[in-house]
Amino acid sequence: MSTIEQNLQAVRGSIAQAADEAQRPAQDVTLLAVSKTFGADAVLQAVQAGQTAFGENYLQEALDKIAAVKASLPQTVLTWHFIGPIQSNKTRPIAEHFDWVHTVEREKIAVRLSEQRPDGLPDLNICLQVNISGEASKSGVTPAELPALARAVAQLPKLRLRGLMAIPEPETDLTRQRAAFARLRALYEQLRAEGLALDTLSMGMSADLSAAVLEGATIVRVGSAIFGSRNYS
Ligand SMILES: *Cc1c(COP(=O)(O)O)cnc(C)c1O
């Protein structure tokens, strides 16, 4: 068994354990394998081990990898999630090559993705990135501005607003990890109570995935626990 396969099994085990503790079906949690900085070979190994959903942060690296994986496995259906910061002049390839975008924090970006999503592709699935850590984080819409952004994005053609995403400040303590995720979940429940048909909470990474599952995550984004530590050089 490859290291990646072993790691995937361990991560799936952690998700199952946390889901069990939360009395949730483990199938309600999608494992997104974050393959940034790792090559197509690593993705192919994960696919061999049954993984089908992959997350990428850096556009050019992602486009090259998606093409390489597709060339190796032309028949295999994978879903690609863009989870990195979005520059407004780079929206077109995101709209063309991804199935999901987790990091929409401005209406302008959503409008561009909507206009640039090619005809013939299914709607692009969208999560709004929310800043739940206050001044400690620069990324994400503020909770105060979230409802207006959500209503605007929900109206746009060719997009399907699925839910919310957050990257809280790193915390080692489980209680504090859970408190941050609970804030995102409360915002999500508020939007649902206002009538938005959301079904996705994208939260939890290698170091805090159990806390996220305990607080209702439906997608956990896991990189290093699957592929090993990243080397950015
Ligand atoms: C890199 C990254 C991850 C994965 O982080 P790990 O700690 O390696 O699991 C998840 N989400 C986002 C947005 C990331 O940039």
Residue nearest to atom 13 of ligand 1 (CA): 83
Task: Compute CA 226 distance to the chain's CA centroid, rounded to the nearest angstrom.
Answer: 15
* pLDDT 10s digits, 119-135: 999 999 999 999 998 87
* pLDDT 10s digits, 40-88: 999 999 999 999 999 999 999 999 999 999 999 999 999 999 999 999 9
CB 64 within 8 A of CB 41: no
Mean pLDDT of all residues belonging to the chain: 97
CB 211 within 8 A of CB 174: yes
- Ligand 1 centre from 20 Cα, in Å? 24
- Ligand 1 centre from 222 Cα, in Å? 6
Match 């987790």 to its residue by tokens. 102
Instruction: Tell me the pLDDT band of 156, cut-offs 50, 70 and 90.
Output: very high
The mean pLDDT of 110-122, rounded to a whole number, is: 98
Res. 209: pLDDT tops 80? yes
pLDDT of residue 101: 99
Q: Measured from the CB, is residue 83 less than 6 Å from ligand 1?
A: yes
pLDDT of residue 1: 85
pLDDT of residue 112: 98
Taking the model in full, what pTM does it have? Answer: 0.97
Share of the chain above pLDDT 90, in %: 96
Q: Measured from the CB, is residue 43 less than 6 Å from ligand 1?
A: no
pLDDT of residue 203: 98
pLDDT of residue 201: 98
The closest alpha carbon to 217, from 232, 203, 231, 197, belongs to 203
pLDDT of residue 144: 97
The mean pLDDT of 149-154, rounded to a whole number, is: 98
pLDDT of residue 159: 98
pLDDT of residue 137: 73
Res. 233: pLDDT tops 80? no
Residue nearest to atom 11 of ligand 1 (CA): 221
Res. 136: pLDDT tops 90? no
The mean pLDDT of 161-169, rounded to a whole number, is: 97
Say which amino acid occupies 109. I
Q: Measured from the CB, is residue 217 less than 6 Å from ligand 1?
A: no
pLDDT of residue 25: 98
Using only the alpha carbons of the chain, give its radius of gyration. 17
Structure tokens at 76: 């295999």
- Ligand 1 centre from 11 Cα, in Å? 14
Q: Residue 211, CB half-sphere, CA atoms under 13 Å: how many?
A: 23
Q: Measured from the CB, is residue 116 less than 6 Å from ligand 1?
A: no
The rounded distance, in Å, linking the Cα atoms of 90 and 112 is 10
The best mutation among 35, 132, 205 to test binding of ligand 1, ranked by most ligand atoms within 8 Å of the C-beta, falls on 205
